[in-house]
A = this chain, B = another copy of it.
């Protein structure tokens, strides 16, 4: 049986996913671990819990705390962060692009730039222009990639991916998954790496 990979499940709208996106590649390099990037949508998972938006919007005190915590945490990790003027943003198109391109070399950089657009530059990542401009900045054929991302195949693929996340027991993002072990939250990134290295 093959050793399970190190899966990084993230949602483009998720603040704590952003912190992990900024941290994971350096840590993975140091640990000699290669990451499997797993974009998915929290929306349907939240819906199945009876929530129609982020719990940070539904539960006021928790939401206020999260914004302050992200401010402190991004300072601690020396990560640039600016409060987005809209939360959560719709990461559907970005997730379809990332999923269809997951085996491409430029995909991690695409992911990182989309997160920066949302949480540093305060751009609307639901906007095709924003995604196209990121793809162009990477030297990619934005028109072709976006057309593909809007195909039925691509829609089905992301729906399956999100169902797979739910089936694994994922309920939030970021989640780091190694076989049957789930580590939830940016706070568990180091623990997840250490688990992976202990069990290889």
> Does any Cβ of B come within 8 Å of A141's Cβ?
no
Q: Pick from A17-25, A56-64, A113-121, A124-132 the stretch touching chain B.
A: A56-64
In the complex, the count of this chain's copies comes to 2
Chain B positions within 8 Å of A49 at CB level: 59
Q: Pick from A26-34, A86-94, A164-172 the stretch touching chain B.
A: A164-172
Residue of B nearest to A76 (CB): B191
> Does any Cβ of B come within 8 Å of A187's Cβ?
yes
> Does any Cβ of B come within 8 Å of A6's Cβ?
no
Chain B positions within 8 Å of A166 at CB level: 61
In the complex, how many residues of chain A place their beta carbon closer than 8 angstroms to a beta carbon of chain B? 24
Interface of A is mostly: helix
Q: A153 to chain B: closest CB distance in Å?
A: 28
Chain B positions within 8 Å of A188 at CB level: 69
Contact with B along A144-180 (1 / 0, CB 8 A): 0000000000000000000000100111100000000
- Known A-B contacts A68-B182, A69-B184; A61 and B169 likewise in contact (beta carbons under 8 Å): yes
User: Across the interface, do B59 and A184 meet the contact criterion of CB distance under 8 Å?
Assistant: no
User: Across the interface, do B72 and A182 meet the contact criterion of CB distance under 8 Å?
Assistant: no
Chain B positions within 8 Å of A184 at CB level: 65, 69
Q: A173 to chain B: closest CB distance in Å?
A: 13
Contact with B along A172-200 (1 / 0, CB 8 A): 10000000011111011001000100000
17 CB contacts below 8 A, A to B, read A49-B59, A59-B171, A61-B169, A61-B170, A61-B171, A62-B172, A64-B169, A65-B171, A65-B182, A65-B184, A68-B181, A69-B183, A69-B184, A69-B188, A72-B195, A76-B191, A187-B187
